[in-house]
Structure 1
Amino acid sequence: MKSDRLLSIMLLLQTHQQLPASDLADRLEVSVRTIMRDVQALSAAGVPVYTVRGPQGGIALLPGFRTDVTGLTADESRALFVLLSGPAHTDLGLAPALGSALRKVMAALPAPHRLEADLVSRRILIDPVRWRGTPGPDQPATDLAAFQQAVITDRRLRLRYRHGRDNQTRTYTLDPYGLVSKAGVWYLVADHDGEPRLFRTDRAQSATVLDQPALRRDGIELADVWDTLRRRIDDIPALIAVTVKVRDEILAKFLRIHEPDLDPARPSQAEYEPGWTRVELRFRALVAAEMLLAFGPDAEVLTPDDLRQALAHKAAETAALYTPRPAA
């Protein structure tokens, strides 16, 4: 829209003091002729904009002229306040500067936009750090419309959700606090029966906004709940990668039992050697992986070495129990 372009010209000139008309045209993706018409429109509206002739010339604003950001649309105002979560700015030593900048922007916003901008800043967070030990985002496009509506209008949400670990779909009635983008993966942060929970939006089978107000705990904000949930996950010990070769005759049974332990970041390799398939698993502790011994010689752990040693020790102890007893 022309009004947006005129504001953009003023903001660019405030930042750079003077720019060639061709530079402005490239930045705003219009022709030089359009830029010159816009400059005439600004001048007619009382903006002290003028042209400087010559090789070093261009479009300039009278020194000292400033404009505010009252030309921002509602969407633009909200977008400014969907910012990185606090820890990122704290780590860079920029938290005080960020708070000061946002207060200045908020004060300059048109009054109708201030409430929405403030609400968005408390309902949507961006956390750029991915979870430890997980691959980068490979999330399909997700329709966030219902999630956004629920968190912005303070409504309950009915969610049909497929869990990643057991692949089961369950239905929840949730009280949302907000949305978090964790390294490009969107999560809904909500209470279920008064307890904080985390839901990946790309696992939602359906999301329906209910005509009931969200029942959030008093004095609790999205940032508080997110910090609690994030710490719970970050404090979980790193998963241990285990590689097993499985005899093909029992592969189907093996996969049924260990489906929750399959490592999505390391796909299994078919035909590891004739009659065997290599399977990649993850366990939270070595002791949990010792159940692999139940498959006997039909499944051999290839890595890690300390798990092989633990299984060899257990196998030896078990074999000792069944050493033939001397005849009476």
Structure 2
Amino acid sequence: MRSERLLSIMLLLQTHGQLSASDLAARLEVSPRTIMRDVEALSSAGVPVYSVRGPHGGIALLPGYRTDVTGLTADESRALFVLLSGGVHRDLGLGEAIGPALRKVMAALPSPHRPDADLLSRRILVDPSRWRGASARPAAGLDVLQQAVLSDRRLRVRYRHGGDGAERDYTLDPHGLVSKAGTWYLVAEHRSRPKLFRSDRIRRAEVLDEEVRRSDPRELPQIWDGLRRAIDEVPTPVPARVRVRRSVLQRFRMVQETDLAPGADFEDDGDEYVVTTLAFRSVEAGAMLLAFGPDVEVLDPPEMRRYLAGRALATHEQYKF
């Protein structure tokens, strides 16, 4: 609604002092032309808003002007205390409420506290939903990562990769930190491309005395959403029919819950086993089932059975006496 956007413009200017039309447009998800029309409407309504031309110009309110932001709505108050990602607010029907609520609280803060509060809200994100087959990992080295994120400094890290276990050095330009179901990730650019780095795999981190050089102009939630989708959304998942021993069923369900195929159920297969269907990103992704040993067996597809048999045989050869 335009009235909500006009109020948001006043609150943002009250908080920051001066912002460019493009910055306001990005924050409110409209065009700069729309922002300029809104500024004209505010001025016509008697709000002391003005534009400054030039490379360091922007839009501002006359010093000392403050708008009345009495009373949060019920939805805004509820949204404020769900300190999670925007997706959670949308799930609860509060997606439109969280932005105005935070802007009102920001405007009410003592002016010396606003920059830190605003920076924290733009650099830290919490996403409570689990990833496929993933469990929470203990936070590691967050103090150094947070220092770089909040000071807009580059990072030099030694990172251990999950696939081959190799350790490599990277110079990174941080965008922010994301807590995904209890596991912390650093969102940072490497060679101008946003990537994810799991905090517990960062073996060493050093804040450099260099300002970040971000190429991607998007805010942290938009970058995170793109990286998350690249991992979460499998265009053509590989279905796997598996047999599970009842004695490990509880652990199996906990570990593989996010890999269950849509509509899949657990069917009886005698007194000792149940059968269900999983959906994996690839045939190779089924390797995680080897952790259950003989208590879980892939019945189909044949190519996954062959792949797992090869992995099991290679492991046997490595450890045989």
TM-score bracket, shorter-length normalisation: 0.5 to 0.7
Q: SS of 1:208's equivalent? A: strand
Q: Is the 8 A contact 1:81 1:117 kept in 2?
A: no
1:230 equivalent among 228, 231, 237: 228
Q: Distance in 1 between matches of 2:144 and 2:152?
A: 12
Instruction: In structure 2, give the amino acid aligned to 1:116.
Output: D
C-alpha distance in 2, partners of 1:160/1:141?
16
Q: Which amino acid aligns with 2:135?
A: G
Could you give the per-residue CA deviations for residues 20-40 of structure 1, whole angstroms, max 9, x where no partner exists?
Answer: xxxxxxxxxxxxxxxxxxxxx
Aligned residue pair count: 195
Runs of 4+ displaced beyond 2 Å: 80-83, 236-244, 258-262, 265-269, 278-281, 285-296
Describe how 1:1-328 pairs up with structure 2 within 5 A: 83-131=83-131, 133-137=132-136, 139-217=137-215, 219-236=217-234, 262-263=287-288, 267-269=291-293, 287=303, 290-291=306-307
SS in 1 for 2:88: helix
TM-score for the superposition, normalised by structure 1:
0.51
Residues of 1 paired with 2:187 and 2:311: CA distance? 40
Residues of 2 paired with 1:193 and 1:109: CA distance? 38
| Residue of structure 2 in register with 1:15 after alignment | none
Structure 1 counterpart of 2:181, one-letter code: A
The corresponding residue for 1:325 is none
8 Å contact kept, 1:81–1:120: no
SS across alignment from 1:178: strand
Identical residues among aligned pairs (%) = 53
> CA offset at residue 241 of structure 1?
6.0
Unaligned runs of 5+ in 2: 1-69, 71-79, 244-282, 315-321
Max radius of gyration: which structure?
1
Write out per-residue CA displacement over residues 238-291 of structure 1, whole angstroms, 9 at most, x where no aligned residue.
5666889xxxxxxxxxxxxx998641x76344xx5xxxxx7879x9x8646544
Deviations 1:168-226 (A, max 9, x none): 11111111100000111100011111111111101110111111111112522211211
- Structure 2 CA distance for partners of 1:187 and 1:141, relative to 1, 3 Å: closer
- Cα offset, 1:140, TM superposition: 2.5
User: Deviations for 1:267-321, whole angstroms, at most 9, x for unmatched residues?
Assistant: 344xx5xxxxx7879x9x864654457699x79xxxxxxxxxxxxxxxxxxxxxx
Change (3 A) 1:295 1:129: closer
AA in 2 matched with 1:172: Y
User: Quick one: distance in 2 between partners of 1:218 and 1:190?
Assistant: 10
